[in-house]
Amino acid sequence: MAPEILNGHPYNYKVDMYSFGVSMFELLIGQVPFIGENKLDITKNVNIGLIRIQTNLDLSSCCLDFLGKCLMLDPNERISIDHALNHPFINPDSPQYLEKISLSPLLNAASKTCFNITKES
């Protein structure tokens, strides 16, 4: 569930992009992105963006970029449906995608993404 819904804030279609990112995470990685001892822990981890992700995954930078853009905490920074359909991970031939592929949002724990990577093998 997107953080804005979880916290009772107004929301728009970008909650669906977040949900898609969570589902994609589970399908690609085989685990849920947010863990905790109880519901309160899980809610806290969603709100601070603490995702448990293995560091030895065999996923392309393009895939990780797309996943990170779907799971942005700030809905204003989260990928739109149009951008998602034109992202190279979905449509490698799209001439309309102007943003550079970057792993820095995934690797920068101080950023506004929800990827705070914790080592796990």
User: Which stretch of DSSP H or E encloses residue 40?
Assistant: helix 39-48
Per-residue pLDDT of 11-41, as tens digits, reads 999 999 999 999 999 999 888 888 889 999 9
Per-residue pLDDT of 58-81, as tens digits, reads 888 888 889 989 999 899 999 999
Helix (H, G, I), strand (E, B) or coil at 118: strand
Q: Are 73 and 33 within 8 A, CB to CB? A: no
Task: Confirm whether 102 is domain-assigned.
Answer: yes
Expressed as residue numbers, the domain containing 61 is 3-107
Calpha distance 85→92 (Å, rounded): 10
CATH of the domain at 79: 1.10.510.10
Task: Confirm whether 62 is domain-assigned.
Answer: yes
Per-residue pLDDT of 75-121, as tens digits, reads 999 999 999 998 888 988 876 555 555 555 454 432 333 344 443 44
Task: Count structural domains, the chain.
Answer: 1
Task: Confirm whether 69 is domain-assigned.
Answer: yes
Task: Confirm whether 112 is domain-assigned.
Answer: no
